[in-house]
Structure 1
Amino acid sequence: MATFQITIDDERIEDLLHSDQGVPALLGPILNQIFDAEMSEHLRAAPREQTDRRHGYRNGSYTLQRTPRVGTLDLEVPRDREGTFQTSLFDRYQRRWRTCPSEGIGPWADADGGTVRLDPPRQENHD
């Protein structure tokens, strides 16, 4: 599993929370970092890293715009040269998100108005 760290200064957070675009402005970069981490895991190498374990090379990115209830998200989804990279957040050519990409974000709605909700994990009773 890929890991990443997000750093946002206090001033930027305060500005975002006082505007209508706060959640999309915070969520967009987080999702972009998730895409980059997934690509590094897929290629088995970080950007510009030279290693024998590498399985391909990056080939830019494409812009994807999604509009859940929190506002419009402008996403940069990376590509690899072979065209084999697929993010785990949505399927290729998928127009609507079936689930929320991250727990804790709450209910989402796609651009067509259909609500999408992440169900809490089920706890099994072993009595």
Structure 2
Amino acid sequence: MDRQRAHVAALLQKHRPGHRFQRSPADFAELQSLVDAHVVQNMDTWGLQALGVVFGDALQAANAPLAWCEVTDEFGTDPTLRVGSTSYQVNALTMISKRIERGETVDVLDLANHVKQSVAQATGGKQ
């Protein structure tokens, strides 16, 4: 994940010199700028999922009960965000990538707000 974070940070520096990711909700706007500029092509799954790692870091900063963990299923082991001690998971890794791969418009802030509402429901509004 650190390699993916570094990759996206380098993309941001290239396309928006002087801007940095802060692992905060402010990163949603920076990610949107990269998505809008199409700096990662829709066939570059690793690069798109790297955007998802940075998106997940910003989600974690915006939603206190979220924590990175690894989950294993029939497709392998991947990082995901778990909501507190619940079994509810947010797959930030692919939230952006799947939409871009399908040719959809991505609204990063809208995705973040959707996650925030889902987390509130999963925790009964307690964050």
TM-score band by shorter chain is 0.3 to 0.5
Largest Rg, 1 or 2: 1
Q: Larger % of helix: which?
A: 2
Using CA pairs below 8 Å that are at least 6 residues apart, which structure has the higher relative contact order? 2
TM-score by length of 1: 0.33
TM-score by length of 2: 0.33
